[in-house]
Amino acid sequence: MEINFVEYLINKGYTFQRYLNLKWTDAHYSNEFSSMTEGGISIRLKKDNSIFHYGLHSFNLPPTLITPEPSCPQEQREMIDFISKNTNEEIFNKFYFNSLQ
């Protein structure tokens, strides 16, 4: 079974962070997203100058890649579809250069 994209980034050395107490803080990996808990809406994965945001983005849709955004406009459903049809490596390669801050 293939690991999810968040686990893929963690395995590549990205640091898992949640937004707690008004700042991004290193946290233990959790694949749970909820608007009912502090820092539960999204996560940030950071390595050097590369940052990915993943989490809840649109009402009634599952967590997905929020940023970096692709160079062309996409609806959130298109992003979910793209992620489901491509390997983690393909996703990473498509968005890595857009993730550089």
| Proportion of the chain above pLDDT 70, given as a percent | 88
The number of distinct structural domains making up the chain is 1
pLDDT at 12: 95
Between CA 71 and CA 98 the distance in angstroms is 8
Q: What is the pLDDT of residues 60-83, one digit of tens each?
A: 888 888 888 665 556 777 888 888
Q: How many residues can be counted in the chain?
A: 101
What pLDDT band is residue 1 in, cutting at 50, 70 and 90? very low
| Beta strands, E only, 15-76 | 15-20, 23-26, 42-47, 50-55, 64-67
pLDDT at 35: 81
pLDDT at 99 over 80: no
Q: Average pLDDT of 41-67?
A: 88
Mean pLDDT across the stretch 29-56?
A: 88
Nearest 10 degrees: Cα torsion 55, 34, 28, 101 = 30
Q: In terms of residue numbers, what domain contains 52?
A: 5-99
